[in-house]
Amino acid sequence: EIVMTQSPATLSVSPRERATLSCRASQSVSSNVAWYQQKFGQAPRLLIYDASTRATGIPPRFSGSGSGTEFTLTITSLQSEDFAVYYCQQYNDWPPHTFGQGTKLEIK
């Protein structure tokens, strides 16, 4: 089973600043990584897939990069609605399609 490790567990950033979230796979997953945003009490929402492709309706301040074992989600000019928990997921090797443990993005 591939282990996805996210860092940091909690990230404190001021509004209008940039946030950089990391995700590392225990073995290569090519570019088969997605990023999800989850707000309290809500279902996850797909942000990025195939490591760098924005899902429909996702604003351009969200971007993804990486391949192999190292992946990054960058959010520029943070808005109030961006403070949430973010998960990465690999869908290269399965079952299962493992998720990372999440990064909580909080207001500084």
Partner 1 sequence: EVQLVESGGALVQPGRSLRLSCAASGFTFSTYAMTWVRQAPGEGLEWVSAISSSGASAYYEDSVKGRFTISRDNSKNTLYLQMNSLRVDDTAVYYCASPGGANIRARLFYWGQGTLVTVSS
**Least CB distance from residue 34 to partner 1, whole Å?**
4
Nearer to partner 1, 30 or 74 (CB): 30
Calculated CA dihedral for residues 9, 58, 80, 82, nearest 10 degrees:
-10
**Least CB distance from residue 27 to partner 1, whole Å?**
16
Nearer to partner 1, 45 or 61 (CB): 45
**Least CB distance from residue 108 to partner 1, whole Å?**
23
